[in-house]
Amino acid sequence: MKSEIIFLAPTPPPVMGPSIATQILLKSRFVREFKVIHIDTADRRPLTTLAKWDVTNVALAFKHYFRLFAILLTSTSELVYIPISQTVQGFLRDVPFIMLSKMFRKKVVLHLRGGNFRVFYDSANGLMKWIVRTRLRSIERMIVLGSCLKPMFAGLIPDGRISVVPNGIDFNGRGFGPDAAGAGTDMIKRGDIILFLSNFMTAKGVFDVLHSVPIVKRSGADIRYIFAGEWVEDGGERAFMSYVGRERLTSDVEIVGAKIGAEKKRLYGQADIFVFPPAAAEGHPWVIIEAMAAGLPIITTNQGCIAESVIDGDNGFIIPPRDPGAIADKILFLRNHPEVREKMGRRSRELYEANFTEEHFVQRMIDAIRATLKDEGDRA
């Protein structure tokens, strides 16, 4: 008989890490392995409302609390899965989910889809630290996105109760596959299309990529930058476009907005180099996996567990954060060395197929849930 689990998690829209993961799992064999009762915790409003105290956020939280309580009253579930936040407001919102689940004697699996938890904990006041310690002590398992993120919970959760589940996605189609890098038109073979795809935030490196454009342009290289995403920060678009106008980059920079599905695949298929240089904590960005699946060399930074996917000098380059000059240098190097660019692209695809497909992700999630159902783990 299938084990019944309660699954609190958002679905798209908006399209972001947790909602992508939920969508994949609910359409996979995960729901054949377990009887899943899904509570959709999505907030359909724009991303600018995230992590803010407002009436709607509070109302949504209480709606989900009551929904969980009602299910717990009648459910025979053994386990509750809860994505956990790494901010004061977010964690306090999540605490009632944990407490309700434990009140009904359910096993609890938390899933951190980020890499900033230790900074949050260390900067918290004494009361908040006590709340965090107390709640984490009561759970059965924590899931993190990479091995390098396990130390975030040192002294909070025994290592034996932490599972590593990197993101994974099936991202195939025309222009994708082992021979994707270097394939296509002569324009693509020149290495002259640079893609940045993410939510447009300073922390994601969007302005660092933009500031690399005039440096590359001064070298005489004819390179086109494509920026795909949507603005999250107030005033960001205005500052971006002001810089483009001031530096006369209109013909070098194209903003195409947020893309999903076939349109997103088309962008990856057109690109020669993927650039994503976050300057703040990340988990395991989906865009990195997508770029690997597309057979692209990747220029990025060592945030979260990115370095577990992008190996410096192998399938891309790890550069310092907030360094437009380093971005420009690596773009020009890859443009001027097509054999390296193509080799790195092929290596990206190989690493993707070996580690980061949807099947890898789903199986690791199944294993983590099964392990929790079977054994509460090391409670020392």
Q: Where are the domains of the chain?
A: 3-169+358-374, 186-355
What is the pLDDT confidence band of residue 337, given thresholds at 50, 70 and 90? very high
| Residue 148: per-residue pLDDT | 95
- The amino acid present at 54, given as its one-letter code, is D
Q: Which long-range contacts (CB under 8 A, 24 or more apart) does 124-127 make?
A: 124/88
Domain covering 3-169+358-374 in this structure, CATH number: 3.40.50.2000
Reading the block at residue 66, the tokens are 């009551």
Residue 210 is inside which H or E element, if any?
Answer: helix 206-218
Query: What sign results for the dihedral spanned by CA atoms 172, 178, 179, 180?
Result: positive
Average pLDDT over residues 274-292: 96
Residue 178 has pLDDT above 70, yes or no: no
Cβ-count burial 149-169 (b if 16+ within 10 Å, e if not): bbebbeebbeeebbbbbbbbb
Average pLDDT over residues 174-194: 54
Residue 189 has pLDDT above 50, yes or no: no
> What is the percentage of the chain residues whose pLDDT exceeds 70?
92
What single-letter DSSP state applies at residue 51?
T
Residue 318 has pLDDT above 90, yes or no: yes
What is the pLDDT confidence band of residue 52, given thresholds at 50, 70 and 90? low
Average pLDDT over residues 347-356: 97
> What is the percentage of the chain residues whose pLDDT exceeds 90?
85
Residue 5 is inside which H or E element, if any?
Answer: strand 3-9
Average pLDDT over residues 175-181: 50
| Residue 51: per-residue pLDDT | 57
Average pLDDT over residues 328-352: 97
Question: DSSP 3-state helix, strand, coil percentages of the chain (rounded to 5)?
Answer: 50, 15, 35
What is the pLDDT confidence band of residue 54, given thresholds at 50, 70 and 90? confident
Q: Which is more confidently placed, 173 or 155?
A: 155
Average pLDDT over residues 166-186: 61
Map tokens 């298929």 to a residue.
Answer: 269
Intrachain domains 3-169+358-374 and 186-355 with the same fold? yes
Q: How far, in Å, are 11, 348, 376 from residue 290 at the CA level?
A: 19, 10, 35
What is the pLDDT confidence band of residue 378, given thresholds at 50, 70 and 90? very low
| Residue 184: per-residue pLDDT | 38
| Residue 104: per-residue pLDDT | 98
Average pLDDT, the chain: 92
| Residue 176: per-residue pLDDT | 55
| Residue 50: per-residue pLDDT | 62
Q: Can you give the C-alpha Rg of the chain in angstroms?
A: 22
Q: How far apart are alpha carbons 126 and 141 in whole angstroms?
A: 24
Residue 48 has pLDDT above 80, yes or no: no
| Residue 375: per-residue pLDDT | 75
What is the pLDDT confidence band of residue 186, given thresholds at 50, 70 and 90? very low
Residue 132 has pLDDT above 60, yes or no: yes
Average pLDDT over residues 115-131: 97
What is the pLDDT confidence band of residue 187, given thresholds at 50, 70 and 90? very low
Q: Which CATH architecture has domain 186-355?
A: 3-Layer(aba) Sandwich (3.40)
